[in-house]
Structure 1
Amino acid sequence: MSPKHNFTAILVIAVSLSTPLAQLHAVEDDWKSLFNGHDLTGWKANQNPESFTVENGLLKTHGLNDMAHLYYFGENDNQPEKFINFEFRCEVLVMAKSNSGIFFHTNYEKTDHFLKHGYEAQINNDPRTTKELTGSLFAVIPVLESPVRDEEWFRYYIKVDGNHIIIKVNDTITVDYREGENPVRKPFRKDRLLQKNGGALAIQAHDKDSTVYFRNIQLKKLP
């Protein structure tokens, strides 16, 4: 990272921290806050827990020792909480050349590679690292031009209602997808599907060169 970019990143994060988290995005009725801004209570990494830390009220992902995923367990210590129909929202800041993702309808897997089950809402603004950029439903619906820039906070929204998946970035729809009865998948991604009984939610730490911050992580269950 160049000195100019480094200064910009520090300035952006410093400014963002000048406002208390409670004032950034108030939790409305039926919305539940999944991240308390102090520690990782309710969350558990499948491996490499050092890749997930809390800094200045922000959830930081940095894949120090290969890929890892942080699952939302809630109040259950034995298995991640499962969600079927829901709305999810958070705010994200991506450092230069960084990759991450939000998995949903997935399973708890101890692996240093991508998760086999469910879907990934992609986070990556650099086409030099992958062609599928922020706002993509990874390996299903690609977004080829990122709607946001590195080192700036943006809003990320995911909705699952039956077989209908919507992704929004800063309130603009990037994915409007309905899963059919027999969706076509590559063989090694054959289980990238919605699960009848729902699945887990997980945030990805991609690699040692990727640093991504999250805040105001909230979810609302739907009927």
Structure 2
Amino acid sequence: MKKLKTLALLFTLALGFSSCNSENTEQTDGKWRDLFDGKTLDGWKTVMGAATFEVEDGVIIGTAVHNTPNTFLITDETFGDYIMEVDIKINHPSSNSGVMVRGQFNQSAREGEGMVYGYQIESDPTDRAWSGGLYDEARRGWLYPLDLNPAAKSAFKMGEWNTYRIEAIGNEIKSWINGQEVAYVVDDMDKSGFVGLQVHAIYDEAHVGEKTYFRNVRIQTEDLEPMPFEGDVFVVNTGYNKLTNFEKEKGWKLLFDGESSEGWVGAYKETFPEEGWNINDGVLTIQGTDGSESTNFGDIVSKEMFSAFDLAFDFKISEGANSGVKYFVTLSEGNTGSAIGLEYQILDDERHPDAKNGRDGNRTLASLYDLKTAEKQARFVRKPGEWNQGRVVVHPDNKVQHFINGVKVLEYVRGSEEFRELVQKSKYNIWENFGEAAEGRILLQDHGDEVSFKNIKIKTLK
């Protein structure tokens, strides 16, 4: 009897194992398709640079070659909506890499040598640690640098295999590294394209032969089930005045609805200006006049007051323009001209003379106007006529950060000794307790130049 019971138990366990194994096989084989067969590069081709790709022990190995452009191994097939995974290993800081998502190729560019461009999820082995961020290769540059999600900077491990998960579904692109949520971008520039693996250009002969490793490249294209983000991750949305459900759940709201002036009034006024501020096609624009400060149509301010908050806004300047976004505006000073407040400077640094005024560049784009200089690189700033994204984060402990296109460019603490010393050296030293109000309004400045705004969104921080 004991023997029969044992056999019955083993039979039951075997059936259970068989059932579980069948379910796993159906999930894996039914949804996932290998893009790399583990033995050959069938279905792939190399474009642009002269770096080499070869297969060894089920791994694609990309080897750096001196003085050649970025090299891409791209799929012959193109894809629209999909979820993909790939393992990447990098051993040397020179081996920058990435995964092209809905990648594009212009064969006629570079005198017929071709150009890869489009969305790329980054592999960044440097101390900057922007792996998993979204870079728009050979087009707009960084869309999602990891200054927007510093908690994810530790996800990528040098010298180890890192599993990337990338979702490109509709106009949303999301990335994970080793299970860590990294980037969330809403953008509709490319709806389909190839998958590509990059070996970056190198110009130091000492780095010749450094290798980048790829394995387990697989994709889902049907019955897609997006993985929801759980953390409080900032969303970059290049569209027009719409929030994702995720943003709404995290407490974001629009300050400009794209259709009306609701929520805004003229500074020191009861109503919105009757002229000068125009709303067309989801864009709020202050009309250009003579370049003078707040003497034409006037600034506008939010009706609502804020204390600790995360404020993001897209802006587009005309050539030579000057403007600003102010915060902690109380309208209590009784001054003439522009209302008093801390200012995120908006300026054409190359063409407007104010960039050379003040101290040490503290009146340049994204600076805390007349107080603290934005430490930024020109390559992270888009030219007049193109949209830039500004961001101001005021933490509950009064730490304040300014960003331009996702890159943090300055930080200070309201009310600190350092802050008060900066105020004493500035044009604001005549105002008692300048910039230290417990709460205030958001202000968009009329400085006599044409400047446009969209995607003005805010989240209260606690």
Fold conserved (TM > 0.5)? yes
2:265 corresponds to 1:44: yes
1:139 is displaced (CA, Å) by: 0.8
With 101-110 and 57-66 compared, the bigger mean Cα shift is at 57-66
Using a 3 Å threshold, how does the CA distance of structure 1 residues 160 and 221 change in structure 2: closer, same or farther? same
| 1:107-151 Cα deviation digits (max 9, x unpaired) | 2267652323x3000000234421122211101112387633111
2:299 is aligned, of 69, 76, 96, to 69
Whole-Å separation in 2 of the counterparts to 1:111 and 1:178: 25
Aligned to 2:405: 170
Q: Which amino acid aligns with 2:445?
A: Q
Aligned to 2:388: 154
1:174 is displaced (CA, Å) by: 1.2
5+ residue gaps in structure 1? Answer: 1-15, 74-80
Using a 3 Å threshold, how does the CA distance of structure 1 residues 36 and 152 change in structure 2: closer, same or farther? same
Aligned to 1:136: 367
2:97 corresponds to 1:97: no
1:56 is aligned, of 281, 284, 288, to 281
Using a 3 Å threshold, how does the CA distance of structure 1 residues 36 and 189 change in structure 2: closer, same or farther? same
Whole-Å separation in 1 of the counterparts to 2:288 and 2:440: 23
Whole-Å separation in 2 of the counterparts to 1:115 and 1:124: 18
Whole-Å separation in 1 of the counterparts to 2:436 and 2:310: 16
1:177 is displaced (CA, Å) by: 1.3
2:459 is aligned, of 200, 204, 220, to 220
Whole-Å separation in 2 of the counterparts to 1:214 and 1:173: 20
SS at match of 2:411: strand
Whole-Å separation in 2 of the counterparts to 1:43 and 1:206: 18
2:305 corresponds to 1:87: no
Equivalent residue pairs, number: 196
Whole-Å separation in 2 of the counterparts to 1:170 and 1:187: 27
Whole-Å separation in 1 of the counterparts to 2:426 and 2:312: 30
Bigger radius of gyration, 1 or 2?
A: 2
Aligned to 1:32: 253
For the 8 Å contact 2:312–2:457, the answer to whether it is kept is yes
5+ residue gaps in structure 2? Answer: 1-186, 190-237, 356-362
1:62 is displaced (CA, Å) by: 2.4
Higher relative contact order (CA 8 A, sep 6+): 1
Using a 3 Å threshold, how does the CA distance of structure 1 residues 41 and 204 change in structure 2: closer, same or farther? same
Whole-Å separation in 1 of the counterparts to 2:384 and 2:351: 14
Whole-Å separation in 1 of the counterparts to 2:316 and 2:392: 17
Using a 3 Å threshold, how does the CA distance of structure 1 residues 22 and 127 change in structure 2: closer, same or farther? closer
Aligned to 1:21: 240
SS at match of 2:299: strand
Aligned to 1:195: 436
| 1:186-212 Cα deviation digits (max 9, x unpaired) | 4741237333421111100101xx111
SS at match of 2:259: coil
Aligned to 2:196: none
| 1:128-186 Cα deviation digits (max 9, x unpaired) | 42112221110111238763311111111100113211010111011111231461224
Q: Which amino acid aligns with 2:384?
A: D
2:445 corresponds to 1:211: no
Using a 3 Å threshold, how does the CA distance of structure 1 residues 96 and 200 change in structure 2: closer, same or farther? same
Q: Which amino acid aligns with 1:26?
A: T
For the 8 Å contact 1:71–1:108, the answer to whether it is kept is no
Whole-Å separation in 1 of the counterparts to 2:445 and 2:254: 19
For the 8 Å contact 1:93–1:153, the answer to whether it is kept is yes
Whole-Å separation in 2 of the counterparts to 1:20 and 1:137: 27
SS at match of 1:173: strand
1:22 is displaced (CA, Å) by: 5.3
Using a 3 Å threshold, how does the CA distance of structure 1 residues 26 and 64 change in structure 2: closer, same or farther? farther
Whole-Å separation in 2 of the counterparts to 1:63 and 1:42: 23
| 1:22-69 Cα deviation digits (max 9, x unpaired) | 56x636120011111111011101269223111221010125485121
Aligned to 1:113: 337
For the 8 Å contact 2:389–2:404, the answer to whether it is kept is yes
Using a 3 Å threshold, how does the CA distance of structure 1 residues 187 and 152 change in structure 2: closer, same or farther? closer
